[in-house]
């Protein structure tokens, strides 16, 4: 559970780092399964070349098939689902959101696989820019499956930016925060790098300005990212945010300290073959949503 100081810090800063939140055995298991899904190219996934962020390879060039993230992680295997719905995380989210919490299946819900040589820069943005919710108070949980450093493209954030009002002119046509504007530059001077050790967790608000560079090292950076909403913060009808049914956490939880993930085999997958029952094609064909 969070103490009062941590709750206040999240409200003020828009993010909170919980060091060594995930037990080593659980983290290792999620990492090994992520590596296997990456090696086996288990769909649905997003390619770096689909988004064409700065640094990304072209589809037809060397590296054009580089996977940027493994999508629909909750539905990939019980290992991912157990992590995403564990009781310790649920309790913390409930403290912050002050209501029963739902796991969002339409956004994030992925393992980011930032690979050497062919990764890209995620420019400054707010995740909410293409999410559609009644209250816009969602929280993402970013679990470092390995160490995250300035060199391999750790998160950068502008503390407190989730509480600011911005004008449309401060963002470009793709809703990225325009770095060149004087007023934006002044704000970006306050940026902080969030370097993490494996097992650390970052909770961050959906309106927090954040970015990350490409991976300049020779090791893939794996990060499991899931997003949560309060029960009353509903996806707007007919939007992409409403395209998949969200998961109420109270009905799903397992304990993080328990043995639920240990002893689960790497073949632990709910689905036969490389199909996620109708999710895959829809998700793989829509790169707008792919931005998380």
Ligand X SMILES: O=C(O)CCC(=O)C(=O)O
Distance CA 132, CA 237 (A): 9
Per rule CB under 6 A, is residue 162 in the interface with ligand X? Answer: no
Q: Between 246 and 289, whose beta carbon lies closer to ligand X?
A: 289
Task: Tell me the closest approach of the beta carbon of residue 154 to ligand X, in angstroms.
Answer: 8
Query: Tokens 């409930």 appear where?
Result: 94
What is the closest distance, in whole angstroms, from the C-beta atom of residue 195 to ligand X in the complex? Answer: 13
Q: According to the binding rule CB under 6 A, does residue 148 interact with ligand X?
A: no
Q: How many residues bind ligand X (CB under 6 A)?
A: 8
State the minimum distance, in angstroms, from the CB of residue 210 to ligand X: 5
Within 93-122, the residues that bind ligand X by CB under 6 A are 112, 114, 122
The angle, 0 to 180 degrees and rounded to 10, between the axes of the packed helices 87-97 and 4-13 is 60
Query: Which one, 111 or 212, has the nearer CB to ligand X?
Result: 212
Distances in Å between the Cα of 38 and the Cα atoms of 34, 107, 171, 186, 273 are 6, 19, 33, 39, 14
Cβ closer to ligand X: 2 or 178? 178
Least Å distance, CB 114 to ligand X, is 6
Residue 139 binding ligand X, by CB under 6 A? no
Please say whether the beta carbons of 254 and 86 come within 8 A: yes
Residue whose CB is less far from ligand X, 92 or 157: 157
Task: Report the distance separating Cα 59 and Cα 36, nearest Å.
Answer: 23
Tell me the β-bridge partners of 157: 192, 210
- Comparing CA positions, the residue from 190, 207, 180, 191 lying closest to residue 150 is 191
Query: Which residues 233-292 are close enough to bind ligand X by CB under 6 A?
Result: 292
Smallest gap from residue 157 Cβ to ligand X (A): 10
Asked if the peptide bond before residue 246 counts as cis, ω within 30 degrees of 0, the response is: no
Q: Shortest approach of ligand X to residue 89 CB, angstroms? A: 19
Q: What angle do CA 119, 277, 230 make, to 5 degrees?
A: 75
Residue (11 or 123) nearer to ligand X, CB: 123
CA distance 292 to 201: 18
Quick one: the chain helix, strand, coil %, rounded to 5?
Answer: 30, 20, 50
Binding residue (CB under 6 A) for ligand X from 48, 75, 88, 127: 127
The minimum distance between CB 112 and ligand X, in angstroms, equals 5
Residue given tokens 């009781």 in the structure block: 87
Per-residue x/- track, 203-242, ligand X (CB under 6 A): -------x-x------------------------------
What DSSP designation does 171 have? B
- Dihedral sign (CA 202, 203, 207, 208): negative
Residue among 139 and 212 whose Cβ is closer to ligand X: 212
Neighbours of 255 (CB within 10 A): 11
Q: Which is nearer to ligand X, 10 or 131 (CB)?
A: 131
Which residues form the interface with ligand X (CB under 6 A)?
112, 114, 122, 127, 153, 210, 212, 292
């Amino acid at each position: 559970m969070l103490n009062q100081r941590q709750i206040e810090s999240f409200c003020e800063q828009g993010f909170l780092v919980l060091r060594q939140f995930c037990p080593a055995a659980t983290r290792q298991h999620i990492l090994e399964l992520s590596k296997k899904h990456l090696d086996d190219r288990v769909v649905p996934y997003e390619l770096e070349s689909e988004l064409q962020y700065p640094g990304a390879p072209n589809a037809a060039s060397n590296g054009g098939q580089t996977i940027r993230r493994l999508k629909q992680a909750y539905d990939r295997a019980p290992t991912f689902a157990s992590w995403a719905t564990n009781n310790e995380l649920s309790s913390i989210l409930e403290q912050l959101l002050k209501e029963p919490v739902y796991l969002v299946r339409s956004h994030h819900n992925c393992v980011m696989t930032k690979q050497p040589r062919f990764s890209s820069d995620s420019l400054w943005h707010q995740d909410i820019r293409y999410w559609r919710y009644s209250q816009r108070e969602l929280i993402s949980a970013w679990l470092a499956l390995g160490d995250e450093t300035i060199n391999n493209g750790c998160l950068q954030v502008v503390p407190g930016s989730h509480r600011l009002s911005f004008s449309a002119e401060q963002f470009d046509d793709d809703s990225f925060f325009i770095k060149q504007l004087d007023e934006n530059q002044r704000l970006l001077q306050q940026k902080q790098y969030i370097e993490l050790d494996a097992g650390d967790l970052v909770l961050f608000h959906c309106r927090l300005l954040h970015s990350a560079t490409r991976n300049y090292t020779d090791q893939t950076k794996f990060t499991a990212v899931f997003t949560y909403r309060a029960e009353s913060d509903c996806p707007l009808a007919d939007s992409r945010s409403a395209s998949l049914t969200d998961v109420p956490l109270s009905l799903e939880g397992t304990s993080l300290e328990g043995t639920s993930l240990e002893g689960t085999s790497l073949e632990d997958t709910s689905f036969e073959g490389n199909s996620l029952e109708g999710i895959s094609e829809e998700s793989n064909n829509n790169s707008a949503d792919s931005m998380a």
